[in-house]
A and B are shown apart, each in its own frame.
Chain A
Amino acid sequence: MTETNRIRNFCVVAHIDHGKSTLADRILELTHAVSARDMRDQYLDRMDLERERGITIKAQAVRLTHKPDGTPYVLNLIDTPGHVDFTYEVSRSLAACEGAVLLVDAAQGIEAQTLANFHLARDAGLAIIPALNKIDLPQADPEETAREVGELVGWDPQDVLRISAKTGRGVAELLQQVIELVPAPHGQREDPLRALVFDSTFDAYRGVVAYVRVKDGVLPSRAKIHLIAAHADSDAEECGVFAPEATPVPELGPGEVGYLVTGMKDVHLAKVGDTVTTAGKQRAPEALPGYREPKPMVWSGLYPAEGGDYTALRDALDKLKLNDAAMQYEPEMSKALGFGFRCGFLGLLHMDIVKERLEREFGLELIATAPNVEFHVIRGSEVIVVHNPSEMPAPGTYDHVEEPVVLATIVTPSTYLGAVLELCQARRGELIDITYLSPERAEVHYRLPLAEIIFDFFDQLKSKTRGYASLDYEPVGYERADLVRVDILLHGEPVDAFSAVVHRGKAAQYGRQLVERLRELIPRQLFDVAIQAAIGSRIVARETVKAKRKDVLAKCYGGDITRKRKLLEQQKKGKARLRRVGRVDVPQEAFIAALRVDQRAGQKAGQKAGQRP
């Protein structure tokens, strides 16, 4: 156990690609936590998926020993997820710290996530140490960036550290500032145990492992523990620290950060934000503040691409959920796609990650329906929660509908401000304010329906600003909206998997776009196939896939017969990949098309201006 006054708990917060992982690598080297031989890039980002995507999903904490003046300090570096989907997880990681390094790319300047993270860190009461990264880059503008950052955090620009995480320049000075400016944790050994769970994971051999920060009291290596929010007791098996590999310790004292092998088998009993205390009489009377149930924001239907893999999908989801407490799923049945699951995710990235893991780790081929938000249908005093657009009640059977709204922060070069405002207005946005970080860069705040954001907003924003704008947002509750369900009918029959809930003012246009797209994707059949978009009983768009007239091999004589038979067998295999919906054969790509209706329009616009980043 280390005296609390020698402990510094801190994290590094940054916009994506501003160099957080590289800085962590340099800090590991500087403190000799990893030998030169074992060093590899992005050391802390363990999972393959994380390394490839260049982002961090699971927070990790490493314990480092640093002796700048001969006396050792324990520095706990707590890694935080860097994506808007995981804002709550970020806030819990911040709650495990006393200080934060706000890392800003000296060439890019402040971005939306810089702002969002800064506000989160400040609200959590952390000491904030700004630092400019990538000063070795020729396009870096340290003076201007220091001015922006200084203004944001209230520092004299001259005092803002200039570093290069790549070369290691300035990293020792940064650690010195951490020691000097980040307060030591306080907390009493004698108090009842309270440790914050800021992440948890499921290990196939050890069960649920929680990442914890001890706030008060002492967490012994083996103890009867109690999780306050989960109302669950367990016999903990081990605690330890990451140095950076997992190393057991006899106990974790106040202010210390480490891991706890909880002895539990269900990750949902050790959710992020929960408080670990001692079971029995010494139990802490109150939980640490700030716990929140993980709440999916985005829903999508996942179906096996080839029929019959339902059981495999269910087993895979069961396994995946073991170390992803935020994902939810419930079985559902689609007339078009058969048996599958309606899954809830924290956001689009979370959805992509889960889908990719299902495909990569479990070898599944999946069809995902277009993502949608959770709608609240109000009928008198009753609130009907709708996760699947096809379950939206018929118009006239309810009072009104509410949808989730977010507060979005967009940082953009001033030259693209017009385009950004235009985009937000087109997406039913409500302007809150515009402030200028500098004459060249503006910070825009908008209230936007989340449904508009998950429908291709980010791609559009990037394409309209040559990739320069950045986006962050946080949910701010539900608001009433004039929403309608758009149904797609194939040959007169509604296809549930294509239904979407759209704002009334855009419903007809949405219907037209989807119908046009489907006409391109649905192969000709033996009869004319009408593709219609309907709002209620009103048809708003119609296209026809004309009946196929010719499908025969013109010549078939002695030498052709074997070849012809093989061609037919090929054709049969192709047909097997189509989904029969009513009487119509629909290719699997068509179900993905609904996701891309707007993206195509976006790509066209981007190509025209030659600005696709």
Chain B
Amino acid sequence: MTAGLYVHVPFCLTRCGYCDFNAYAGLGHLAARYVEALEAEAGLWAEEWRGERFGSVFLGGGTPTTLDHADLARLLRSLRERFDIEPGAEVTIEANPDTVDAAKLAALREAGYTRLSMGAQSFDQRVLDALERVHQPASVRRAFAAARTAGHTNVNLDLIYGANGETLTSWHWTLEEAIALRPEHVSAYALTIEPATPLGRKVQVGLVPGPEPDLQADMFDLACQRMGDADYRHYEVSNWALPGFECKHNLGYWRKQPYLGLGAGAHSYLDGRRWWNLRPPTEYLDAVEHGRRPVGGEECLTPQDERLEEIFLKLRILEGVPVTSVAADSATTFLEQGLVARRDGHLVPTERGMLLLNELVLALVSE
């Protein structure tokens, strides 16, 4: 079982209203220090993770491509020096269409980044506006073409559906545009309103309507249908891939494989223990620069926690859970309702079941 290595880059050009990630606009001046800190933090963990073989690296954010390409190249080299990263490992970097050009993308490819995940979100300008994204549909097409020119053969497009004002027709259009680019991978997320965001506050006070669950369900159904028609495999609740291009790194989370997270607010999981780094970049920098592990908190999972996680994570993907590990009567009901299917002694979610996963999990986990 390989491990995953996650690196968090908390910098963004602007903050989007819906985003509740650990990301900050206007902290670009910390970038150089931050990269050094990441390298230093890697050193602080290297010993503990010596026995683990890493099958994937994932630079997420924030917007990792706000960093200079030379820094990004050096960072990956440092990580390879300190950890046992497989030669053929999947190395993903998230990119904002407005922060990349052909030259930078080529440099990243050269430096060993094998997979590009691009935040497209929508091909409808009105939806991008509602999401407070500053890029335009055209910049996605341009950046995508640049990626191909630079030799990237494994590209993901992130999409979001259900923003205020988005119709089923608009979403259909976005799907067609995305499919037309033939990316190897598509992540399509139902917009989730997080209370502690500017958008969340607007929804709470009624300035903006929240997403309609039934419309989002229709959009999900449409995505299932269109992506399926275009030969993408729906391998996780919100993820589709051409055969062989499933995201190895993310599969690791759902398969409960260990992961090490570096950077501000990053989470790690090893041997039934999960811990997370300090969230504010300055606190993170301060800790690492003083030679301390920047851990902000941890938890030890109880057997019940482990069981619940096992079920809700593995039911997100087509691997599913052993039939014998869940409540039999609920399993029977869900089989009858077509929310799960039986495959090789496992219960796997159907597409309809994926959309009702919370309900399935709560029923299946009960004794």
Contacts and interface: CB of A to CB of B under 8 A. Distances in A.
Interface of A: 526-527, 546, 548-559, 561-562, 564-565, 568-569, 571-572, 575
A549 B355 contact: yes
A549 to B, nearest CB: 4
A562 B308 CA distance: 11
A561 B309 contact: yes
Contact of B305 (A565, A571, A575): A565
A558 B308 contact: no
B334 to A, nearest CB: 8
Contacts of B285: none
Interface string B348-362: 000000111111011
30 contacts: A526-B359, A546-B214, A548-B359, A549-B213, A549-B355, A549-B356, A550-B355, A551-B355, A551-B357, A552-B355, A553-B358, A554-B189, A554-B190, A554-B192, A555-B189, A555-B238, A556-B316, A558-B261, A558-B267, A559-B261, A559-B266, A561-B267, A561-B309, A561-B313, A562-B267, A562-B274, A565-B305, A565-B308, A565-B312, A572-B362
Interface string B222-247: 00000000000000011000000000
Given A549-B214, A575-B362, A554 B276 contact: no
B238 A554 contact: yes
The 9 A-B pairs with the shortest beta carbon distances in the complex, nearest first, are A549-B217, A552-B357, A559-B267, A554-B189, A551-B358, A550-B217, A554-B190, A558-B267, A550-B213
B216 A550 contact: yes
Contacts of B316: 556
Contacts of A546: 214
Contacts of B267: 558-559, 561-562
B362 A558 contact: no
B171 interface: no
B192 A561 contact: no
B361 A568 contact: yes
A558 B259 contact: yes
B24 interface: no
A526 B313 contact: no
Interface string B114-126: 0000000000000
Interface in B246-263: 250, 253-254, 259, 261
A554 B4 CA distance: 21
Contacts, number: 92
Contacts of B191: 554
Interface in B327-367: 337, 339, 354-359, 361-362
Contacts of B253: 556-558, 561
B113 interface: no
A516 B305 CA distance: 40
Contacts of A565: 305, 308-309, 312
B54 interface: no
Given A558-B259, A575-B362, 16 more contacts: A526-B356, A550-B214, A550-B355, A551-B357, A551-B359, A552-B355, A552-B358, A554-B189, A555-B238, A556-B254, A556-B312, A561-B253, A561-B267, A561-B309, A568-B312, A571-B362
A562 B190 contact: no
A556 B361 CA distance: 14
Contacts of A553: 192, 357-358
Interface residues of B, number: 42
B269 interface: yes
B274 to A, nearest CB: 6
Contacts of B313: 556, 561
Contacts of A551: 355-359
Given A549-B355, A552-B354, A526 B337 contact: yes
Contacts of A556: 237, 253-254, 312-313, 316
A471 B192 CA distance: 53
A562 B313 CA distance: 11
A551 to B, nearest CB: 4
B217 to A, nearest CB: 4
B6 interface: yes
B265 interface: yes
A346 to B, nearest CB: 44
A558 B6 contact: yes
Nearest to A569: B308
A527 B356 contact: no
B34 interface: no
A551 B337 CA distance: 16
Contact of B362 (A554, A559, A564, A568): A568
Nearest to B261: A558
Nearest to A561: B309
B358 A558 contact: no
Nearest to A527: B337
A556 B305 CA distance: 16
A307 to B, nearest CB: 16
B11 interface: no
Contacts of B337: 526-527
A544 to B, nearest CB: 14
A331 to B, nearest CB: 30
B47 interface: no
B220 interface: yes
